[in-house]
Amino acid sequence: MSELTYLEDVVSLAYDRNRCIGCGMCVTVCPHQVFALQRGRADMVARNHCMECGACMRNCPAGAITVEAGEGCVRGVINELLGIEGPCC
C-alpha cells in the first residue's frame, strides 16, 4: 500500500532554513518524514504529508518551524468554527 496522502497545499507548516541548527529533532519526531537532514541542515522534503501535529515545531530548539497545530477531527473543527470549548475525541 502506498503512503496515504490527504489534501495537497493546505497545511500551515512553515520552515525557516536559515535558523536551522541541524540538530535533527524534526526528522526524529515527524511521523510522516516531512523533514530530512541534508548537508547539515533540515530540508522540508514532503510538505504534503504533514498532518500538522506540531511535534517538529515544539521540539525545534531554534524555533525555525511554525505550524498551526490542532486536532484534525470533525468535532474539533466544529468547536473551533463555533468558537466553543468542547469535548473532542
Q: Which stretch binds other proteins (CB under 8 A): 5-13, 14-22, 36-44?
A: 5-13
Contact between 38 and other proteins by CB under 8 A: the answer reads: no
Burial code (b: 16+ CB inside 10 Å, e: under 16) for 61-74 equals eeebbebebeeeee
Q: Which three cell numbers stand for residue 39?
A: 548537508
In the complex, least distance from residue 18 CB atom to other proteins, rounded to whole angstroms? 19
CA angle 51/7/11 to nearest 5° reads: 45
Binding residue for other proteins, selected from 15, 42, 49, 64, defined by CB under 8 A: 49
State the Cα–Cα distance between residues 85 and 62, nearest whole angstrom.
31
Site for other proteins, rule CB under 8 A: 1-8, 10-12, 25, 28-33, 49-55, 58-59, 61, 68-78, 80-81, 88-89
